[in-house]
Structure formats: structure tokens, C-alpha cells
Copies of this chain bind each other. A is one copy, B any other.
């Protein structure tokens, strides 16, 4: 199913397609044309057809797309038909917010370990992730190895981020979800996805300039 050279821009759009298709499913809508999908999502119909053709295309001429089928197919392309074991590294405010978000919204991503410095984890009263162990960062490397952790979610302060990344990379991590303010330097073969909050806020500031007066 998956082909080698799908552009990053297309990949970035796939979760968005899936999100809209999920909403349509909830509303009981069974099929949709690329034109109606276009109105909803805001990409052109030709863009949508082109994107989905990267993966073989799922629409039928004159019928449109089956909402459920397309949702599941995109999920499969993204790898959301599998389960992932996650470690949260950094359990301050952002770490807790992200952990809570994942636990409540992302059933395929299982938080099995939570790591922080001693002072923080001693302070954690509300362990709502019953299956997760809470440990200091000293155990991070051995835990990633022994538990075959797939994804490390890094929410430590910026100056610690590379050290954590090196540690999990050496321990055989497959993917890193980086929510710190810095970019990470990692060996080939480890997937990384960044959420740079400030970059997004600064882009907003730019867009606002057109709105003034």
C-alpha cells in the first residue's frame, strides 16, 4: 500500500482528511464527493484527488468516496491500525496535559512509562494512567529497551531535550514526538515529529498584521 516517495506535505494532510472523515462518520454520512470534501476541508477537489491517488485512490467516478472506507484506509496508511507503546519524558505542566490528552483521545497510543526528575515525580498525586510506571530519568534507557517502547514524548526543558533524545535513541526508540522548543539532532532511521508552540504563535503574529486597523 505505502509507496516510498510521498511528499511530506501530503503526509501532513492525511491526518486532517481522517479527522474530517471521522466527523462525517459520526454524523452518519456514508459517502462524499471530492467536491463536497473540498468545501469542508478547504483544499481544492483536484488537490484531494491528487493526494489520495498517491495511495491508489479510493473514489469511484460518479459515486465519490465511501466515508468509512476512506477513513479506515487513511488510518491504515498512517499506521493507526497498530498499537504503540509510549514513554512520556518530562512530567511538568505540558507533560501532564499531553499525557492526559493522549489517554483520553488516542486509544492506539498507550502510555506505559512516565519519567521526570525525583522532585517532580514525588509530587505526582493524580496518577490517572494506571498502567503507567512513574520513574526517574535514570531508568529511562533500560525501560525503553526492556519494554520495547516505540515512541518517546519529550516535554523536558529545552536545554535537556537533546540529552533525552540521545538516551532514547541509544536505547532503540523508533519515534520521537518532540514538544520542546528546540530541534533534535538524531541518527537516521528514527522518526521525529515536532510541535513547536512558539513557531506557531509567531506565525499567528505575522498573519495578524494584515488584520490591523
Contact = CB atoms under 8 A, between A and B. Distances in A.
Contact of A210 (B102, B183, B191, B204): B191
A195 B198 contact: no
Greatest chain B CB density within 10 A among A151, A199, A205 is at A205
Given A12-B199, A201-B109, A174 B212 contact: yes
A100 interface: yes
Given A151-B208, A181-B19, A202 B78 contact: yes
Interface in A83-137: 84, 92-94, 96-98, 100-102, 105-106, 108-109
Nearest to A79: B205
Nearest to A9: B9
B189 A80 contact: no
A151 B80 CA distance: 34
A193 interface: yes
A172 B183 CA distance: 36
Contacts of A60: none
Contacts of A19: 181-182, 196, 198-199
A29 interface: no
Interface of A: 2, 11-12, 14-16, 18-19, 42, 77-80, 82, 84, 92-94, 96-98, 100-102, 105-106, 108-109, 150-151, 174-177, 181-183, 189-212
5 contacts: A15-B200, A16-B183, A191-B208, A193-B200, A193-B204
